[in-house]
């Protein structure tokens, strides 16, 4: 089953507006990562936030993490047409006996469209 | 620096044929991952290696799929015999160690007729 699920599935905004995408997950995590995928390309890592962090910034990106609600959000400020892509959250795979496996589990993504 | 390199970029073949996908990870990365992406199922992990050793292959659909990593700079994913339902984009990714940011190749778009 999916560990992370993004919301909304699709988002369409005008250039200059802010875009907010959310991610919910089910089990304990060590870290949560956000990735971007442009059409026809591989995923590109954007930002990693650890379970003991609440907020992290990178350029126009702001990520928050609420471990009590098992959720994260990605905010892109002052969006540009070039931000048009799918955005995925990924969490480490937590196993029942405790501890994390070495792989990530990806959600199905939010498709962001930024209109010029 | 060169990123993760996958070949071929596109493959079209007939059902029943053997398909081999190739991946060269980033030099120095110890973990390598094979994924399959479809509209219906999203991004699925097939198998991952750590230090050339397969760690988790529970995502490999069936015995028709096999993966090898003979050395730190090369991995293959083989499908034999291929079926139309194997049509998807297959990605290879590598990371410095487990649970670290992954670097993806641009994928192989596979079509089985």
pLDDT digits (tens, 9 = 90+) for A18-54: 999 999 998 888 899 999 999 999 999 999 999 999 9
Question: Which residues of chain B approach chain A closer than 8 Å at the C-beta?
Answer: 4, 31, 33, 42-43, 45, 48, 50, 55-56, 91, 93, 97-99, 101-107
Question: Are A77 and A11 contacting, i.e. CB atoms less than 8 angstroms apart?
Answer: no
**Chain A: closest CA distance from residue B105 (Å):** 5
State chain A's mean pLDDT as an integer.
90
Please list, in sequence order, all residues whose beta carbon lies within 8 angstroms of the beta carbon of residue B63, skipping any fewer than 6 positions away: none
Rounded to an integer, what distance in angstroms lies between the CA atom of residue A115 and that of residue A106? Answer: 26
What pLDDT is stored for residue A1 in this prediction? 44
* Chain A residues with beta carbon closer than 8 angstroms to that of B36: none
- Report, as an integer, the average pLDDT of A77-106: 83
Q: Are residues A44 and B104, on separate chains, in Cβ contact within 8 Å?
A: yes
- The per-residue DSSP string of B55-102 comes to EE-TT--STTEEEEEEETTEEEEEESS--GGG-EEEEEEEESSTTSPP
What pLDDT is stored for residue B15 in this prediction? 97
What pLDDT is stored for residue A98 in this prediction? 55
Minimum-distance CB partner of A104 among B102, B103, B105: B102
What pLDDT is stored for residue A100 in this prediction? 60
What pLDDT is stored for residue A93 in this prediction? 72
Q: Are residues B45 and A101, on separate chains, in Cβ contact within 8 Å?
A: no
Phi/psi zone of residue A16: left (φ > 0), alpha (ψ -120 to 50 degrees), beta? left
Work out the widest C-alpha separation in chain A, in whole angstroms.
49
Spans of chain B, pLDDT less than 70: 1
Residue of B nearest to A5 (CA): B42
What pLDDT is stored for residue B69 in this prediction? 97
Minimum-distance CB partner of A42 among B45, B101, B104: B104
For residue A95, is pLDDT > 70?
A: no
CA atoms within a 13 Å half-sphere pointing along the CA-CB vector of B65: 18
Rounded to an integer, what distance in angstroms lies between the CA atom of residue B50 and that of residue B96? Answer: 10
**Chain A: closest CA distance from residue B94 (Å):** 11
Question: Are A58 and A49 contacting, i.e. CB atoms less than 8 angstroms apart?
Answer: no
* Cα dist from B1 to A4, B97, B103, B105, whole Å: 31, 18, 12, 13
What pLDDT is stored for residue A26 in this prediction? 87
For residue A12, is pLDDT > 90?
A: yes
Q: Are residues A40 and B45, on separate chains, in Cβ contact within 8 Å?
A: no
Question: Are B105 and B3 contacting, i.e. CB atoms less than 8 angstroms apart?
Answer: yes
């Amino acid at each position: 089953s999916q560990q992370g699920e993004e919301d909304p599935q699709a988002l369409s905004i005008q250039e200059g507006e802010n875009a907010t995408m959310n991610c919910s997950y089910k089990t304990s995590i060590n870290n949560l990562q956000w990735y971007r995928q442009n059409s026809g390309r591989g995923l590109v890592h954007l930002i990693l936030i650890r379970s003991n962090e609440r907020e992290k910034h990178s350029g126009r990106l702001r990520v928050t993490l609420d471990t009590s609600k098992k959720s994260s959000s990605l905010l892109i400020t002052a969006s540009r047409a070039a931000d048009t892509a799918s955005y995925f959250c990924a969490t480490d795979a937590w196993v029942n006996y405790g501890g994390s496996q070495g792989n990530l589990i990806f959600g199905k993504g939010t498709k962001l469209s930024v209109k010029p | 620096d060169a990123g993760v390199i996958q070949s071929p970029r596109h493959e079209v073949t007939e059902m029943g044929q053997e398909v081999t996908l190739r991946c060269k990870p980033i030099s120095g990365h110890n973990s390598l991952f094979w994924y399959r992406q479809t509209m219906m199922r999203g991004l699925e992990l097939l198998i991952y290696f750590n230090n050339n050793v397969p760690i988790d292959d529970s995502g490999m659909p069936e015995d028709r799929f096999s993966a090898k990593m003979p050395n730190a700079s090369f991995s293959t994913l083989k499908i034999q015999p291929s079926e139309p339902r194997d049509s998807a984009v297959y990605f290879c990714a590598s990371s410095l160690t487990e649970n670290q940011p992954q670097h993806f190749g641009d994928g192989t778009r596979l079509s089985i007729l």
